[in-house]
């Protein structure tokens, strides 16, 4: 007699994924509001860039501390704590008039956002079988992209209809509702209590009887586990283990360095476009209307969502080729952007559509970094390693966001009234050196990882 498949893992994951989607909405809430933000606070392009840059600096800087806390206090507490920080930040964003208080509000949003994604990713192996993880990870990213879709058009329409204050207060209210739901549903692992159960000191029958899908018989992909701890002399845990020393020792594993550079290289183009500079480029550079720009940004998000559905099974099926999948997508993004840079005059519609469809593939491709990481990181350090790798794409994104604002200002095109296509082409060209650096390091670290695994009698994963 077959045992019924447990449903609780799917409910826990569903609420965690929704919490991640809300974090993405908060992260990209200025995506379609760049010009509106400049008018609201009366700021130039460099100051506008400071909003997402500072937010991403906070996000990236907190990844390792959050990873350490994650290994100690658990995923549920981190996700819910992050939700509280974000709703406070968006409430402040709604009510302050001073630009530097608004920047502080984005700091809170960045701090809360930093707690969410890696916590959700850390939770997945506790509830799902190894063969399910690539697909579940990509669907998690897809749900997050759905949050980005909300921030592109509905949030902009809401702010336009009810005003800046009411629009951002509405976003904070959504975050509050999801945080309350998470307090009742989310659990770190089977048998672990919800936040409500932690507070009351009583575990319900559902918690006591919880089972993980990870206990099911595994397919051949179950061999894709992390190396045995005995092959990793650097993961001896003891009191006083310093953060910098821990990071240095973890980065001695070439597979973790490979995961970092994979995440550094593929997603930043889409992050930059969707977080802040897409709307100014399309309206002030190409000359599209706000509605046309919103439609193209929506296509960008949909393209990313579809790619997530495809890349999950592909990554699971072609484990030993997943690095090349990431590199191929990154090269395609660079080629399309290069065509836009070199095109004389405004790019034609077909080229814009190619850019809008190809560029967002980098987001789902970056999820491959976490599949590589799971094959090389010891489980006891999973939170720390996930945070370390997750800094890659956001370090690249904040560098590009800031440089675009600076290059626009240097050309005298730092305000909506002064935007021009030529200025934007020069500004977006700052992406090229980062693609070159990232792809070069991926190729170097892939070779080192392959050699490292061969020395231990394992194939490259």
| pLDDT tens-digit map of 343-399 | 998 999 999 999 999 999 998 899 889 888 877 777 667 677 787 888 888 889 889
Neighbours of 204 (CB within 10 A): 13
221 band by pLDDT with thresholds 50, 70 and 90: very low
Does residue 225 register a pLDDT over 60?
A: no
Percentage of residues in the chain having pLDDT higher than 90: 33
| Stretch (H or E) spanning 378 | none
The pLDDT score that the predictor gives to residue 5 is 56
Q: Residue ranges of the domains in the chain?
A: 8-210+243-455
| pLDDT tens-digit map of 124-160 | 888 988 878 878 887 888 888 788 778 777 887 888 8
259 band by pLDDT with thresholds 50, 70 and 90: very high
Positive or negative, the CA dihedral 387, 390, 396, 402 is negative
Supply the DSSP string of 171-231, one letter for each residue: HHHHHHHHHHHHHHH--SSTTPPPHHHHHHT---HHHHT---GGGSPP-GGGG-PPPPGGG
- H helix intervals, 74-98: 75-95
The pLDDT score that the predictor gives to residue 243 is 65
458 band by pLDDT with thresholds 50, 70 and 90: low
Any idea which fold 8-210+243-455 has? Growth Hormone; Chain: A; (1.20.1250)
Burial class (CB in 10 A: 0-12, 13-18, 19+), 272: buried
Distance CA 180, CA 173 (A): 11
| pLDDT tens-digit map of 152-163 | 778 878 888 888
Supply the DSSP string of 149-167, one letter for each residue: HHHHTHHHHHHHHH-HHHH
The pLDDT score that the predictor gives to residue 460 is 57
């Amino acid at each position: 007699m077959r045992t019924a498949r447990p449903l609780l893992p799917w409910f826990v994951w569903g609420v965690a994924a929704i919490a991640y989607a809300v974090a993405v909405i908060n992260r990209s809430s200025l995506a379609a509001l760049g010009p509106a933000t400049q008018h609201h606070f009366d700021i130039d392009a460099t100051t506008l860039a400071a909003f997402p840059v500072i937010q991403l600096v906070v996000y990236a800087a907190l990844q390792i501390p959050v990873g350490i806390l994650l290994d100690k206090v658990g995923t549920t507490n981190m996700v819910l704590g992050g939700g509280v920080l974000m709703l406070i930040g968006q409430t402040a964003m709604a009510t302050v008039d001073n630009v530097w208080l608004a920047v502080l509000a984005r700091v809170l949003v960045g701090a809360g956002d930093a707690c969410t994604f890696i916590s959700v990713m850390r939770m997945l192996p506790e509830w799902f079988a190894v063969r399910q993880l690539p697909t579940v990870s990509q669907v998690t990213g897809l749900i997050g992209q759905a949050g980005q879709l909300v921030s592109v058009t509905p949030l902009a329409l809401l702010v336009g209809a009810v005003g800046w204050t009411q629009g951002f207060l509405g976003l904070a209210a959504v975050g509050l509702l999801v945080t309350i739901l998470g307090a009742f549903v989310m659990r770190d692992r089977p048998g672990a209590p919800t936040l409500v159960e932690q507070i009351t000191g009583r575990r319900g029958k559902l918690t006591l009887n919880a089972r993980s899908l990870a206990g099911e018989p595994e397919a051949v992909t179950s061999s894709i586990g992390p190396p045995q701890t005995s092959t990793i002399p650097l993961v001896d845990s003891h009191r006083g283990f310093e953060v910098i020393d821990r990071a240095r020792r973890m980065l001695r594993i070439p597979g973790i360095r490979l995961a970092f550079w994979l995440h550094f290289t593929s997603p930043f183009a889409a992050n930059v476009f969707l977080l802040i500079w897409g709307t100014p480029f399309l309206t002030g550079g190409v000359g599209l209307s706000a509605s046309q720009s919103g439609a193209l940004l929506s296509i960008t998000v949909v393209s990313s969502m579809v790619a997530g559905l495809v890349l999950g099974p592909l990554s699971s099926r072609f484990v030993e080729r997943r690095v090349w999948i990431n590199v191929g997508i990154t090269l395609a993004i660079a080629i399309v952007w290069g065509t836009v840079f070199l095109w004389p005059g405004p790019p034609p519609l077909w080229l814009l559509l190619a850019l809008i469809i190809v560029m967002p593939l980098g987001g789902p491709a970056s999820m491959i970094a976490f599949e590589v990481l799971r094959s090389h990181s010891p489980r006891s350090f999973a939170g720390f390693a996930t945070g370390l790798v997750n800094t890659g794409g956001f370090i690249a994104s904040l560098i590009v966001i800031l440089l675009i604002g600076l290059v626009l200002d240097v050309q005298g095109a730092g305000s909506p009234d002064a935007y021009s296509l030529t200025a934007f082409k020069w500004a977006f060209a700052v992406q090229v050196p980062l693609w070159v650096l990232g792809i070069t390091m991926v190729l170097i670290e892939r070779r080192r990882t392959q050699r490292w695994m061969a020395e231990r009698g394992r194939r490259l994963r």
